[in-house]
Structure 1
Amino acid sequence: MKDISGLNHPIYSESEKNQSKLIPQLLKEGEAGLETLMDWMISLGKESDNLALGQAYQTLYLDKNRRTQEFLASNFPHGVVSLKSEHNVDYRPLQELLAQQDFQRADIVTLQKLCELAGSAAIERKWIYFTEVESFPIEDLLTLDKLWLMHSEGKFGFSVQRRIWLSVGKDFSKLWTKIGWKAGNSWTRYPKEFTWDLTAPKGHLPLSNQLRGVRVIDAIFAHPAWSQTN
């Protein structure tokens, strides 16, 4: 019989990519596998950047089993991301939508949170000026980004979009195609033509350019927050 107990299990020592593959295998092992998975999650803690932790949390969150829900409520009451905010912005609604994989509503709430960071004028107009982005606290932008990263298996987030943009020589027209916002000369139409699940191209979400133009997304990519993650 395969040993799936304690620190002997490979999930403690494997790469992040292989850990992700082990999660569904553990859940097939019944109670012993679930115990190992939960112990491993606790060992990482919610400060971890491990994307496999996000996947594990996601799996248990959607399971709706009483045991798993009690475990999450006790050990990860606010998810696997510390919801830090210099401006006291409440990111719990966004965390809940992302945990539910409701990416369309999460995208709307992300813009609302960006407006909160920009101030009362942006909240009233419901969109942001590129000039307001530079005043966003590093802590808040990183919180938003990590929420998207951890709940998308690393597929979505500002930092993902930025890396793709850098990989295509900062060419926005190439970026739009890469992340599925444009096909040929045709812009992807909101909301029906966007893909609101994990089958989307990498970097597809969130819609940080507010559907048109480059000034806001360019300002986000220029933010000093990313100097802490590169």
Structure 2
Amino acid sequence: MLTGPRSDELLELFLAGTERQQLRCWAQLQSQAFELRDLIWESLLTQPRQANSWASGSLLRLMARDSEMLAEIKIRYPRGWLPCPEGFGNLFEQLQESLLLEQLELSDRLTSSLLREMAGPEAVARGYVYFSEVANFEPNHLAHMDALWWLYSNGRFGFRVQKQLLNSVSGNWENFWQLIAWKANGVWTRYPKNFNWSHGAPEGHMPLVNQLRGVRVLDAILKHPGLDLRPSSA
């Protein structure tokens, strides 16, 4: 009789396997989270705190669904598991916590706030970013924001993901919007109630950048050199 991997083997495969293997293991890990929580926590304590694999972020999300483990995470990593850059109050810490807790609509709103802060005081006062202000973004700040989305979404959300998807449709914005469900049958998806604020959303669905004023802001973000960087680690 064929059987699946033991619990410890399942965790090891998830941490060290290919992305395809990790995705296959993910559903099983979620169903065995309570049984595995001590092993998962021990593994997390030994993982490098960097965004070169989304496996650690996924395990942190899994642990955070348990109130006791969430308390442990907050004690061990008071500013977040992935070290945050300085500045902008505690918006980076808030974004990381909301992504950890799978509060994706809040994460999207915090991302919009951070983009305005990164653009400068005029964008903050105005309430939105001009495409010409995207050049003001510090590369490491944009890299960190994007890494947080990627880390806590099984590698499915973030600006780099959106850039890859736009390239996959040869830069055709109409096809891109349909692909990430910002449009359906030629009609814009109504914000916020018709967006899918869950990990079941289409790849690249988040974070949102308002397209009603045109594509130039998002286009500038997707071309920003910060998306070619990896944020600093601990």
Q: What TM bracket, shorter-length normalisation?
A: 0.7 to 0.9
Task: Provide the residue aligned with 2:167 in structure 1.
Answer: 166
Q: Distance in 1 between the 2:55 and 2:108 partners?
A: 22
CA distance in 1, matches of 2:13, 2:77: 23
Q: Which runs of 5+ in 1 are unaligned?
A: none
Separation in structure 1 between the aligned mates of residue 44 and residue 20 of structure 2, nearest angstrom = 15
Report what 1:222 is aligned to.
223
Deviates further, 120-129 or 210-219: 210-219
Structure 2: which 5+ runs fail to align?
A: none
1:52 and 2:58 are equivalent in the alignment:
no
Distance 1:178 1:212, change over 3 A: farther
Structure-1 residue corresponding to 2:29: 23
Taking the TM superposition and a 5 Å limit, the aligned residue runs for 1:109-148 are: 109-148=110-149
- Structure with the bigger RCO (C-alpha within 8 Å, sep 6+) is 2
TM-score, reference length from structure 2: 0.84
Aligned equivalent of 2:66? 63
1:23 touches 1:37 (CA, 8 Å); kept in 2?
A: no
**1:185 maps to 2:186:** yes
Instruction: Give the C-alpha shift of residue 49 in structure 1.
Output: 2.3
1:22-59 residue CA offsets vs partner (Å, 9 max, x unmatched): 6336535x3xx333212221221322422111111001
In 1, Cα distance between equivalents of 2:183 and 2:213: 10
- TM-score normalised over the length of structure 1: 0.85
* Correspondence for 2:46: 43
Q: Within 2, Cα distance between the matches of 1:210 and 1:126?
A: 15
The aligned counterpart of 2:195 is 194
SS of equivalent residue, structure 1 residue 84? coil
Structure 1 pair 104–88 and aligned structure 2 pair: CA distance change class (3 A)? closer
Q: CA deviation at 1:16?
A: 4.4
Q: Secondary structure at the match of 2:94?
A: helix
Distance verdict in 2 for CA 1:109–1:70, change over 3 Å = closer
Give the drift of 1:137. Answer: 0.7
Alignment RMSD, CA only?
2.4
Give the number of equivalent residue pairs.
221
For residues 53-111 of structure 1, give each alpha carbon's deviation from its aligned partner in whole angstroms, at most 9, with x where no partner exists.
111100111211x2x235313433333322125x5553111112222211112111111
Could you tell me how far apart the structure 2 residues matched to 1:182 and 1:9 are? 40
Amino acid in structure 1 at the alignment position of 2:33? L
How much does 1:227 deviate? 3.1
- 2:204 aligned with 1:203: yes
Q: Is the 8 A contact 2:177 2:183 kept in 1?
A: yes
What is the CA distance between 1:15 and its match in structure 2?
2.9
Aligned mates of 2:150, 2:178 — CA distance in 1: 21
Aligned twin of 2:154: 153
1:144, distance to aligned residue in structure 2 (A)? 0.8
Secondary structure of the corresponding residue to residue 199 of structure 1: coil
SS for the counterpart of 1:134 is helix
